Amino acid sequence: MAEGRQTVVIVRHGRTEWSAAGRHTGRTDLSLIDEGRRGAADLGGWLAARSFDTVWTSPLRRAADTCALAGYGDHAEVIEDLVEWDYGELEGRTNAEIV
């Protein structure tokens, strides 16, 4: 990498029951489903070839678990401001239910 140049890698959390169903998931604290856990572990293999000065995670379970399963749980700093959108009354609804 060129001197002074930085790369930012952004990773979305693994699949949850709501994301699999197309539901808007904001601040509801959902766990990963098996598919999400496998994906997070697979992500760890892809990320292992890289080194990071800093790793951040949302405090929500789905993000923190993805981070841990990818192998970065011990290095991650929990950042409260990284929680998802507040969908309000639209939380948990699908696009079809909203339209």
Q: Indicate if 91 belongs to the active site.
A: no
Q: Indicate if 84 belongs to the active site.
A: yes
Given 84, 89, 91, 97, the catalytic residue:
84
Given 13, 24, 75, 97, the catalytic residue:
13
Separation between Cα atoms, residue 36 and residue 11, nearest integer Å: 13
The number of helices, as runs of H, and strands, as runs of E, in the chain is 4, 2
What torsion do the CA atoms of 15, 20, 23, 26 make, to the nearest 10 degrees?
0
The catalytic residue positions are 13, 84
